[in-house]
Amino acid sequence: MIGNVGSEPQVKEFQSGKKMARFRMATDDVKKVNGKFIKHTEWHNVTAWGKIADLTEENIQVGTEVLITGRVINNSYKDKQGKTRKISEILAESLIYRNIKSAASKTDESDNKQRA
């Protein structure tokens, strides 16, 4: 998936020393409807662990363009009223990012970073 980060990553470090980072990511899709192009934005929950969580904590912020590969995890839970809620998230297995603000101020592509 390619998109833009829409929330500041929330990072949690566990007693074991393992880190987890979570953030929201927006992807856009364009469809032609009745001769007009319409942009539709989808929001995704992303979870990263270990080295990818470290990378996220150090380099990812709102507006960062990211390419994420991973898998979709579907979970359910009961809310405070006892109603079952379903949630999907992307478990990031690799992450490539580009800080758009930095890239716009430079003439080369040296701000592009890739880590797995």
pLDDT digits (tens, 9 = 90+) for 11-66: 999 999 999 999 999 999 998 889 999 999 999 999 999 999 999 999 999 999 99
* Residues spanned by the domain of 17: 2-29+40-100
Spell 51-89 as b/e; 16+ CB within 10 A means b. ebbebbeebbeeebbbebebeeeeeeeeeeeeeeeeeeb
Q: Is residue 107 part of a domain?
A: no
Q: Please state, in angstroms and rounded to a whole number, the distance separating the CA atoms of residues 55 and 57.
A: 6
Strand partners, 40: 29
Question: pLDDT band at residue 108, thresholds of 50, 70 and 90?
Answer: very low
114 assigned to some structural domain: no
- 81 located within any domain: yes
What mean pLDDT is reported for the chain?
87
User: Is 35 part of any domain?
Assistant: no
Domain count, the chain: 1
CATH number of the domain where residue 87 is located: 2.40.50.140
Residue 112 domain-assigned (yes or no): no
Between 109 and 61, residue with greater pLDDT = 61
Confidence class of residue 100 from pLDDT cuts 50, 70 and 90?
A: low
Residue 111 resides in a domain:
no
